[in-house]
Chain A
Amino acid sequence: MADLQRLEDTLKRDGGQVRDAGPEDAVDGVPATAVARPVSADGVAAVLRETTAQGLATVARGAGTALDWGAPPERVDLILDTTGLDRLVEHGSGDLVVVAEAGLPVATLAETVRAAGQELVVDLPPERLAAGSTVGGALSTGASGPRRLQRGGIRDLVLGATVVLADGTVASSGGKVVKNVAGYDLAKLLTGAYGTLGIVVRAAFRLHPVRPDRAFVVATGPSADVAARARGVVGSQLAPAAVELDRPVGSEVAEVAVLLEGTGGAVGQRAAAVVEILGGRVQGEPPEWWAALPGAEVSTGSTRGGGDVTYAKATATLTGVADLLAAAQDAEQRYGVGVALRGSAGGVLHAAVTGTPEATAAAVGHLRGAASSPREGTVTVLRASREVRAALDAWGPVGGLDLMRAIKSRLDPGRNVAPGRFVGGI
């Protein structure tokens, strides 16, 4: 490990800190040498200028709730802890816009904008939210929750971002207005990039007014049947805010929960119309699995040390969702694995696969096969043990990989930020 003294001197000036890393700072099993906690974008820039000049590898960390998503980095010299950048920069309530630093917990942001009757519709898994998941973490992992069906994913809500590149360049794109087509939309490029293009230090998001009324319609039945009825709701004129499916491990039945949001009592009428399509019952509260990652019941929190649960993100066309559910059941029978599947009938779901590395690899392959081509659906592994990663192709086929490599090479030519964490070894 090279000279950290200069880093420390630089950071001290604006209140940041550097310390030696401990075992708890390892990133998915890859040990780190030091942890820097700057408190400003300039501090982040100073850190990266210094570490990159020394040829070191830096990995950003927010609350660390999804630090073991994506491939483990090839090497980690420095952890850049973003939680010192935790200011809510601006809440333009009349403009339905919020600007926040990357280290601000999403829950804190939510609390602030809630006071004005507004919300950032990212619907993080409750376990991540409770553990302090940050704005930068939610953006960098491309978080996806139930209401993206109607409001879009986080990439559709982000209006602008400021990133610090590996060489310390501080660059902004977009802005803080809802409508803006000036320049490249680099905020989208940074979304879901797992910190491999630079370290996001600030982002602006579009907010929505909280809808005062809501109702859930919940129904259960054979997977194929439930999937077909869920698709009927997605294709209706009832404007569901979310249509979520849950298929537990080893189950031939699935549950569907539809969220309706609105004003002035109209929600009740729509809920009744949804019941006509779906069957089931109307309730005021979501089912307990709502927005959570699947398979919590089998993980017992042991995954961090390289346990046996593999988490994946699965995408599909609307009609392909039923195929994915069928493939889950099929994979269980063929390979002796457990496959829990949960997510939006709009075609973005999460899977939890339990089994040996070989069986898990076979099951992931089988889930991929549910779509006739990668353009119709993909399965990417988010979190897995070393053994499972060694047994499978975590990302699957990636369209435009050469362009992605070129972007990485232009923005981080020395591979100094989060090397190896992304598709194709980026």
Chain B
Amino acid sequence: MSKKEKTVYEAALEHGFSRRDFLKMCTALAATLGLEFTQSDQVVKAMETKTRVPVVWLQFQDCTGCSESFIRSSQPKTESVLLEMISLEYSEVLSAPSGHQAEASMEQVLKDYKGKYILAVEGSIPKDDAYLMVGGKSARETFIKMADNAQAVVAYGSCSAWGGIAGASPNPTGAKPVTSFVSNTPVILVPGCPPIAEVMTGVIAHIITFGKLPELDHLGRPKAFYRHRIHDKCNRRAYFDAGLFVESFDDEGAKQGYCLYKVGCKGPTTYNSCAEMRWNGGVSYPIQSGNPCIGCSEKDFWDNGPFFTRRAKIPGTQTTINPDSVGLAALGVTAAGIAVHATGTVVKKKMDEKRGEE
């Protein structure tokens, strides 16, 4: 395994890209990263001088959906990411070797690139080791060993970022997000079920370009991609403000493209860039295609109630209720209680008055 340290540019030329192709890629990348056009030369410079970043991609309690999303990136193209920008040292989905060979390459990374590689993680980690052993080692041990020596951990998907479906109530495996097992290594959360492909590649591209982690918000997500609510960038927003709503999926409003708020759209509580970057190379995203947002990039989204109704969660529980029905019921009970109490008050007063007269 001879590893000559090639720059991204050199690697691109080697794979038959022209200078022109390379510049196009850099410009597109700058746009994806949310940079101004004038800053694209920074990206070019970085790609000309920086070597490829070694990446180890671990999968735990996941569905491989994040990997599937990743390989559908269009800007930058997945092949340019995989072949030029990063050096994917270990991946269960994309590795050529398997078995002991694959496991050996992980050990090799620890030797060669200690403190330099990026650890991409997909899936949650169970509290009880028995639920997930890979190659005879527990997922938790593998993760802790790899995370401690990594430059940064990138938690891809809602499972690794928040616990995801495995961590949803009742959480039989005791699944936890990767942040519960990291001590000193910085972690970037890239939630989503799955995350948008361009966001996944964009995060790595940012690390390569600027040599540091992207700016994170208070929950540890890259601001560039998770700063805005779906609702505020939604292509159906005008219908929300107008008060035009889809009442059911087969009504006229659904055909007209009205707002999906009343059929449970979680756009108003979801932070992601679906509405801006969209999916499959900018073709569409769920709301545009007529399905309410299910809020897949939000914490515990599986427990946030049925997807197609609006609910409220009782604080401190995993239970969602219809706040207005419950509120009205509580109001009814209170009114009944008041009626009983008022009757008692009147009866007591009359009795007291009678006693006073005697």
A-B interaction: no
Q: Which residues of A are at the interface with B, using a C-beta cutoff of 8 A?
A: none
